[in-house]
């Protein structure tokens, strides 16, 4: 089977990977999508409608399939079957997408499930060694803020933030947005992706913050890496069609707490971190914040407030 060009964007969740993928999809040669090929992960999650959604990576599916498939009839040992079946599915999925879109290459965006970042990156380098890997980075504190907002309907019932933003309880003063569990989860997941890239360096690093300030320049760098046309006309069309206003009908900074695209700015963590939150985040992922240049040292925590001073719902 002929090999199909597959490249990757890998980031922590809530780092702008969907926005970047949509930008890439406007290039005439690129089909960007999300396939969840690697990570050996399977889980049931509650969805936004109160039901359950299966979260399973392709490698986990194939490994489970091997428990039932009559691979011996193919004169294959179990591990050979798993390897060949996964290789076959990877190529078939990519070929299908490119055939349907008429594009030349596929870019797969991956936000690794908890604890799987190293496995994902290792699998990419082992199974698709010719792929180019783009690391998309966002300040982990903004990731935690955006992610905790995104999960308001899913895991925050009974918390003050749910009462404040979802129930809009009159007179409620929200003195702390996060709880310890939320900070620990988001800081750990963000750190794990950063650490994974320390062990498996990417071909290119781009940042959410850079995409916000100079989207076109960052796309040019990516197009050059992927060896597709980086002409100004293509870049301009990619940028113009994927602004925050185009996606939401709002200007960046106009907050709607319960929507997927909530605010579209950088540095919003400063409005929601207390000193307790900062201390926890620094303890878990301070080394990575420093290594990625988001803080000069650990003194950023010192300026954080003991409590938030957000107005009560309904107050002006």
pLDDT tens digits, 244-254? 989 999 898 89
Name the 3-class secondary structure at 312.
Answer: coil
Could you tell me the pLDDT band of residue 8, with boundaries at 50, 70 and 90?
very high
**What are the residue ranges spanned by the domains of the chain?**
6-303
Percent of the chain at pLDDT > 90 equals 86
Largest CA distance in the chain: 72
Percent of the chain at pLDDT > 70 equals 97
Token duo for residue 8: 């990757």
Length of the chain: 316
Residue 118 has pLDDT above 70, yes or no: yes
Describe the crossing of helices 232-240 and 215-226 by its angle, rounded to 10 degrees: 130
How big is the CA angle at 292 (ends 263 and 303), to the nearest 5 degrees?
A: 65
Query: Residue 1: its pLDDT value, please?
Result: 46
The backbone torsions φ and ψ at residue 76, rounded to the nearest 5 degrees and listed phi first, read -125, 140
Specify the CATH number for 6-303; select among 3.40.50.720, 3.30.56.10, 3.40.47.10, 3.40.50.300.
3.40.50.300
93: DSSP letter = H
| Beta partners for residue 99, in sequence order | none
Name the 3-class secondary structure at 85.
Answer: helix
Query: Residue 43: its pLDDT value, please?
Result: 93
pLDDT, average across residues 192-207: 98
Could you tell me the pLDDT band of residue 185, with boundaries at 50, 70 and 90?
very high
- Look up the pTM and report it: 0.94
pLDDT, average across residues 48-66: 88
């Amino acid at each position: 089977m002929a090999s199909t060009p597959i490249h990757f964007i890998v980031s922590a969740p809530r780092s702008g990977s969907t926005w970047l993928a949509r930008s890439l999809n406007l290039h005439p040669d690129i089909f960007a999508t999300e396939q969840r090929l690697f990570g050996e992960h399977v889980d049931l999650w509650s969805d936004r409608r109160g039901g359950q959604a299966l979260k399973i990576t392709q490698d986990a599916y194939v490994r489970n399939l091997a428990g039932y498939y009559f691979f011996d009839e193919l004169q294959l040992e179990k591990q050979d079957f798993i390897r060949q079946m996964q290789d076959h599915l990877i190529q078939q999925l990519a070929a299908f997408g490119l055939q349907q879109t008429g594009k030349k290459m596929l870019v797969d965006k991956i936000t690794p499930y908890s604890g799987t970042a190293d496995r994902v990156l290792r699998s990419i380098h082992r199974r698709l060694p010719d792929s180019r890997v783009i690391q998309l980075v966002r300040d982990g504190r903004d990731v935690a803020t955006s992610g905790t907002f995104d999960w308001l309907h899913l895991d925050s019932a009974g918390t003050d933030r749910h009462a404040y933003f979802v129930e809009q309880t009159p007179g409620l003063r929200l003195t702390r947005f996060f709880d310890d569990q939320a900070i620990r989860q988001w800081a750990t997941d963000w750190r794990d992706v950063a650490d994974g890239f320390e062990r498996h360096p990417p071909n290119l690093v781009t940042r959410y913050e850079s995409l916000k300030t100079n989207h076109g320049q960052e796309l040019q760098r990516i197009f050059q890496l992927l060896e597709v046309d980086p002409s100004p006309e293509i870049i301009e069309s990619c940028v113009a069609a994927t602004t925050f206003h185009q996606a939401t009908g709002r200007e960046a900074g106009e907050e709607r707490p319960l929507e997927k695209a909530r605010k579209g700015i950088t540095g919003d963590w400063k409005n929601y971190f207390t000193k307790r939150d900062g201390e926890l985040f620094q303890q878990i992922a301070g080394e990575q914040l420093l290594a990625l240049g988001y803080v000069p040292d650990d003194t950023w925590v010192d300026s954080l407030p003991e409590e938030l001073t957000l107005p009560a719902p309904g107050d002006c």
